[in-house]
Every structure is written in C-alpha cells, then in structure tokens.
A and B are shown apart, each in its own frame.
Chain A
Amino acid sequence: MKVSIKVNGVQYEKEVEPRTLLAYFLREDCGLTGTHIGCDTSSCGCCVVVMDGDRAVKSCTMFAAQADGHEITTVEGLAQGGALHPLQQAFWDQHGLQCGYCTPGMLMTSFVLLKHKPNPTEAEVREELAGNLCRCTGYNNIVKAVRQAAETLQAAPATK
C-alpha cells in the first residue's frame, strides 16, 4: 500500500507492506536511524516519536499505515538550523546520557511532556519517563536535564 507521511517537515511517499512498523519505516524507508529499536516489544521506549506534535507514541507498536496522512517528529527534527533544541542542550549540559541508546526516546517523550506540562515537578518528570528505560545514567541526570529544558523553554517562549 502507498503511504504519505510528513516526517520532520519532509513529505515521504512510499510503498509499504501493511505490516511495516513505523519504527522500521522511519529507519529503513526514510533513512532516519535516530529512532532506535531497543526491546522491539513496546517496553523500553527507545523508539518513541511524536505524532502530530502532541502525542508520544512507541513507533515499534504502530504500523506505518496508521501514520499515513499524519506528521511525525523524530529526534532528527528537534535541532533547528544547526542549533540544538533546548532539550538536547540540557541533556548535554546535565550529562543526561552515557551510551545514548535510549536518548532519542527520552527526548521525544520529554518533548511531549513539556507541551502538556511546561513546568513539571521532579516527580512528574519521573512519572512521565516511567515507560523509557535507561541502563546507564540512573535517571537522575535525565530528570535534571528535562527540568533545565523546561526552564529554558519558559524563559524563551519563542523557541520551539
């Protein structure tokens, strides 16, 4: 079947099998390998992408066919004009990663969290990231990073 999906502002029109999962579509058909596949069973959150700007979804548990006609944002879509997104900058500043495998999912889940709750408490960040697993950091620096990004985004509402 034919799908037309806007990913990070670029329209992709591709022929896919209905059983093609969105994560594989992004990686193999669009060449956007920033979206990682970890557990491949909707447990780890590495593959989280944003649908229509305000919903975090596990792209290994959704068919590309379901994204037909929708807009998807992946980690590649965060930085604008060579400048890191405040979330990415905060992960850098706070040392919110070591191996980086979970990071795309952490960023995209946090991106949606900050849309709905621009100034989350530490507890709220921890709750919202409960579906994203990190085996390196112990989470503390990730939580700090999300809160730093919240501050940056609130101070400069013009930034995305």
Chain B
Amino acid sequence: MIPAAFEYLRASSADDAFAQLQRLGSDARVLAGGQSLIPAMRFRLARPAVLVDINSVAELNYIKMNGALTLGAIARDSDVERAPWIGERGWSLIHDVSRVVADPVVRQMGTVVGSLCHNDPSGDWPAVALAMRAEMVVRGKSGERTVPIDQFLVDSFTTAVAEGEMALAARFPVPDDRTAGSYQKVERKVGDYATAAAAVQLSLNADGTVREAGIALSSAGPCAVRIDEAEALLKGQQPTADLIRAAADAAVKKSEPQADLRGSIEYKKNLAGVLVSRGLRLALARLGVQS
C-alpha cells in the first residue's frame, strides 16, 4: 500500500508549476488535494514519475466572485462549504453538493478543480458543473483558454487538459434571483461512491415558465452525463407534474449505469429518474413554486 517511488517538486508559483509540467509532459501529475490521486497511487493504479505539488501556490488558493464564482485550483471543498454566500438560494445546488462530497475530513483537503480534473464517473462535481454550465480555465502553450464544461469532460478520468497543460480554475455563472437548484445523491454510507446522483439547476421567467434548465447525472455511465432531452422538454414551459415526470423518464432512458454491489442496472436507472424528479421538485420549492 505504499506508492511507487516518484520525484516530488513543490511549485513556487502557477508559472513555475506550468513550466515544470511543460518540461515533464506525461511523466508528471499535478498534486492538489490528492484525495483521489494518492489512493490511486497507493493501489498502484497511478504511477506518475513526478508530482508537481501546487498546495503552496497562494495565487491558486481563492474563491472569487468576479462575474462568475471562480474557484482557484486549490480551493478546498470545505472552503466552499463554509463560504459566506453558501446559504443563498441561487447557490443551492453548490450548497447541496458541498455537504455530500466524500466525507467531512476528506473535504478539508480535496479540491473542486481537482475533482473536475479527475473526472471520476462517480464524482459529484462533474454533474454539478454540467447542470450549472460551468467553464474551466486551462493554461496551455498558447496561453489561457476557457473550456465549456461539456467539452472539458471528455470521458472516464479524461479531460480536455492535454499533456503539459494545467487547469487553473473553475467558473460557475452567477445565478439570477429566479434560480435555484438541488443535488440529490443516494449513497450506502458517507464517503462511498453514489449509487446514483442527480444535479438540477432551474431558472424561471417572471411568468413562471422555465427560462433554463440544467440537469445532469453522476454514476450513470462512463462520464457524468447531461440529460439534454429533459432540459429541452422543460425550457419555455410551466413546470407541471407531467413535465417533471417526462424529464425523469428522459433521465432513466439516458442513464447507463453498471451493475455492482450498490444495485442492479434496472434499480440504478429507476433511481436516476426518481432523483431528477426529487431534484426538480426541491428546486421549484426553493423558488416558491408548488409542483
């Protein structure tokens, strides 16, 4: 259970970290919170030759509201959980997820950007980022670029961050005052992977119709998945019970879970629909709408 030997480099700045990654290419991995990477190294599922530790890089340790909620590469889950705005309705999806990622101690090291870069099919943040239409800031050879989350999450454990590149931040759009969300996760015990989970974000127009819906699932296939059919069904409509049921059905259809000790495929698909339905109802309730 001891990781394979590696070389340890402590980055002194974001520039330094990037320069090391450019020099080392595929030999190096960024070490942020390490709460997924270190266990993977201990099981020898990951054997990076070099770790570039960014934990001391103060310029990457921030949570800012600058046109978007911007989380630097080493903003911890627990920092988000304790943020002063976390109780505001517009951030309710982030509120919900920040309390169920891994366990409370793991959250004091684990980072949001790291979780997105890890892109575990059972991770919580990828589904939330999809539902909120987040963007990632990635530094590459030709400078910084912003990558929409749909393009960032490529496949299981694979993102748009190429060899020698580095994710600097995640940006979540600031919700308007008619927006609320919900994160629904069923897990056997705290710290286990989700049996199924659904992230929902709803913005309403003044007349109560849906201006925009964001709906995504975790633990429902090789990668977090956007339920675009459900989003399209809701857009422009009054969110009636029938529509919520149709959105849940679309989630069941698109969910492609694997059978394991947590449940059968049939059970997990059904659960995905139930969680989308619950998430939509809670988001609407938070907006003062009965459904």
Which chain A residues (1-27) contact chain B, with CB distance < 8 Å? 1, 17-19, 21
B contact residues around A42 at 8 Å (CB) = 35, 38-39, 106
Q: How far is the CB of A87 from chain B (nearest CB, A)?
A: 16
Tell whether B157 is near chain A: CB-to-CB under 8 Å: no
A contact residues around B261 at 8 Å (CB) = none
Tell whether B34 is near chain A: CB-to-CB under 8 Å: yes
With both beta carbons as reference points, the residue of chain A lying nearest to B56 in the complex is identified as A69
B34 touches A62 (CB 8 A): yes
B interface: dominant SS:
loop
B104 touches A127 (CB 8 A): yes
A contact residues around B206 at 8 Å (CB) = none
Q: Please list 10 pairs of residues, one from A and one from B, whose beta carbons are closer than 8 Å in the complex, sorted by A's number.
A: A40-B42, A41-B39, A42-B38, A63-B34, A65-B10, A65-B53, A68-B10, A116-B82, A127-B99, A127-B104
B38 touches A55 (CB 8 A): no
Of the listed stretches B1-9, B162-170, B274-282, chain A binds B1-9
Q: Name the one of A41, A58, A128, A130 contacting B109, with C-beta atoms under 8 angstroms.
A: A58
Contact with B along A35-55 (1 / 0, CB 8 A): 000001111010010000001
B38 touches A18 (CB 8 A): no
Known contacts A19-B2, A43-B191, A57-B109; A1 and B34 CB within 8 A of each other: no
Q: Name the one of B6, B10, B31, B105 contacting A57, with C-beta atoms under 8 angstroms.
A: B105
A contact residues around B191 at 8 Å (CB) = 43, 130-131
Q: Name the one of A17, A18, A55, A131 contacting B51, with C-beta atoms under 8 angstroms.
A: A18
A58 touches B6 (CB 8 A): no
With both beta carbons as reference points, the residue of chain B lying nearest to A108 in the complex is identified as B105
Q: Name the one of A17, A41, A63, A132 contacting B105, with C-beta atoms under 8 angstroms.
A: A132
Size of the B side of the interface (Cβ < 8 Å), in residues, is 32
The CA-CA distance from A17 to B1 in the complex, in Å, is 15
Contact with B along A93-127 (1 / 0, CB 8 A): 00000000000000001001000100000000001
B106 touches A58 (CB 8 A): yes
The CA-CA distance from A1 to B78 in the complex, in Å, is 30
The CA-CA distance from A116 to B78 in the complex, in Å, is 11
Q: How far is the CB of A35 from chain B (nearest CB, A)?
A: 13
Known contacts A66-B53, A131-B102, A131-B191; A17 and B35 CB within 8 A of each other: no
B105 touches A48 (CB 8 A): yes
Q: How far is the CB of B49 from chain A (nearest CB, A)?
A: 11
Tell whether A61 is near chain B: CB-to-CB under 8 Å: yes
The CA-CA distance from A65 to B2 in the complex, in Å, is 15
B38 touches A61 (CB 8 A): yes
